[in-house]
Amino acid sequence: MRLKQLLLCGMMWMCCVPLGAQTSKEEMFSTIEKTGGVYWAYPLDFAPQTRAPKGYKPFYVSHYGRHGSRYLIGDRDYKWLVDLFEEAHREGALSDLGEDARQRLLKVWEEAEGHGGDLTPLGVRQHRGIAERMYAAFPEAFKGNPSISARSTVVLRCAMSMVAFGDRLKELNPNLRISYEASHKYMDYLNYHTDESNRFTSSTDGPWAEEYRKFEDVHTNPDRLIASLFKDKRFILKKVNPKEVMWGMYWVASDMQNAETKVSFYDLFQPQELFDLWQCINYRFYVGNANHADGKGIVVANAKSLLRNILDSADEAIQKGGIAATLRFGHDGNVIPLVALMQIENCNVAVDDPYEVYKVWSDFKVVPMAANVQIAFFRNEKGSVDDILVKILHNEHEVHIPVQTDQFPFYKWSDVESYYRNLLK
C-alpha cells in the first residue's frame, strides 16, 4: 500500500510540474534555435487534447494571441551590419569566414529589405494553423452562422495575424460572421502598460538596471567571434564595436528561423556564447513583462484590463449566445503578464537573481512567436444553463491554474470566474 501511495504521489507531482520550469543548458544546446528566446518559431509538439466529460459540448472560445513570426523590428537591424561587412570587404579586412558571413547577410537582406517589423510568411502560416486546430478541436462552437469578434493592436503585424486567422476560419465555414477591428479604441486592454510599471522596467532607472548591466557585461564576450570574422586589427580598432556586432549577429541568427531564406548563422557562434546572450535577453523579458520579485506585481497588473475583458466577453457570450469566439491579437509583452496574472503553471514565479531566472522561467516556453492563450467553454446540454466547464490552453497545451477541480483539465467556470474576479479587486 505504501508503495502505491508513493507512486501515486509521484505521478501527481509529475502532472503538476510547471511547463516553464527547469530549462537546462543541455536543452538549449540540443535545439539551438531556442536561444532565440522570443524569436523561437511557434513549436508544433502538441499532446492530444482531453475529451470533454460526457454530455458537454464546446460553445465558445476566448483567445489572446501574439502576432506570428516576424522580421527584425526595423530594416536598420540588418542594414548596419550589411554596411559594416561591405566596408570591411572593400578594405580587405574580412577573414574567409567573414566573407562567407557577408554573402549570407546579403542573401538575408534581399528578403528582409523593406520588411522591418512585418509578419513573415511563416507568421501567416502559424495563425492559419492555430485557427484550423481551434476549429477542429471545438467544432460545435463554429457551426451555423455565429458571430466572431476579432480585434488587434494598431501594429500591422498584429492586424495581419488577425486576418490570417480569420481567413482560415472563413474558409472552414463561410457562414461565420467575423468583425475585424484594429483600433486605438481597444489598446487600453490589448496593449496596456501603467506609468508605474514603465518606471520599474526602464533600463536606465529601474532598480534592477545596474545589476543587469553587470550581468550582461559578464555574459557578452565577443573577442573570439570578432577575431574569426575580421582579420585586420586596425579595421577592428577603428570601425568595429565588438559587443554591438556580436549582439547584432545574434539577433539576425535568432530570427532566421522565422524567415523564408534558408540561411543560418549559428556556426559563427559557440553554443555557450548563444546560451549566455540568451540568458541576458531572457532576464530582460522577465523583468519587463513577468513577475520579477522586486516589481511586487506592478508589471503583471498590466494585464488586469485584458483579463477583465476576457471575463466580461465570456459573460456576454454565455448570456446572449450565438458568439463562437472572441479573438484578440497583440504582443509578447501582453501575453507574458496575462499568463502570470492568470497563474498558469509556473508563469507567475517570482525571483530576483538574474543567474537563477532561466532555471525557472524561459521566454521561449512562455511566449514564442504566435504564442496564445485559449479558454474553451463547454455546456452540458442536459444540465442547467449555468453548468459550464472550461479548459485553458497555453500555446495549445492544456494547463493548470490554482483553482480546485477533480476533472483536470476541466474547471467549473463559476469557480474560475470567481477566482479571477477576486484578483481584479
Is position 411 within any domain?
yes
The confidence band for 381, taking pLDDT boundaries of 50, 70 and 90, is confident
Enclosing H/E stretch for 392: strand 388-394
The confidence band for 182, taking pLDDT boundaries of 50, 70 and 90, is very high
pLDDT digits (tens, 9 = 90+) for 88-123: 999 999 999 999 999 999 999 999 999 999 999 999
The average confidence (pLDDT) of the chain is 94
Is position 226 within any domain?
no
Is position 221 within any domain?
no
Q: Report the Cα 26 to chain-centroid distance in Å.
A: 22
State the Cα–Cα distance between residues 374 and 377, nearest whole angstrom.
10
State the Cα–Cα distance between residues 117 and 20, nearest whole angstrom.
27
Name the β-bridge partners of 177: 147
| Domain at 393, CATH number | 3.40.50.1240
- Label residues 216-235 b or e (16+ Cβ within 10 Å = b): beebbbbeebbeebbbbeeb
Range of the domain at 281: 25-69+118-208+270-424
Residue 383, pLDDT score: 73
Is position 96 within any domain?
no
In the chain, the number of structural domains is: 1
**H-type helices in 91-205, by residue range?**
96-112, 121-137, 156-172, 187-190, 195-201
Using CB atoms within 10 Å of the CB of residue 74, give its burial: 0 to 12 exposed, 13 to 18 middle, 19+ buried: exposed
Average pLDDT for residues 202-226, to the nearest whole number? 93
How many residues are there in the chain?
Answer: 425
pLDDT digits (tens, 9 = 90+) for 289-333: 999 999 999 999 999 999 999 999 999 999 999 999 999 999 999
pLDDT digits (tens, 9 = 90+) for 237-264: 999 999 999 999 999 999 999 999 999 9
Is position 276 within any domain?
yes
Is position 335 within any domain?
yes
Is position 63 within any domain?
yes
pLDDT score of 15 more than 60: no
Count the neighbouring beta carbons within 10 Å of the beta carbon of residue 298. 17
Is position 112 within any domain?
no
The confidence band for 276, taking pLDDT boundaries of 50, 70 and 90, is very high
Enclosing H/E stretch for 414: helix 413-423
Average pLDDT for residues 4-19, to the nearest whole number? 37
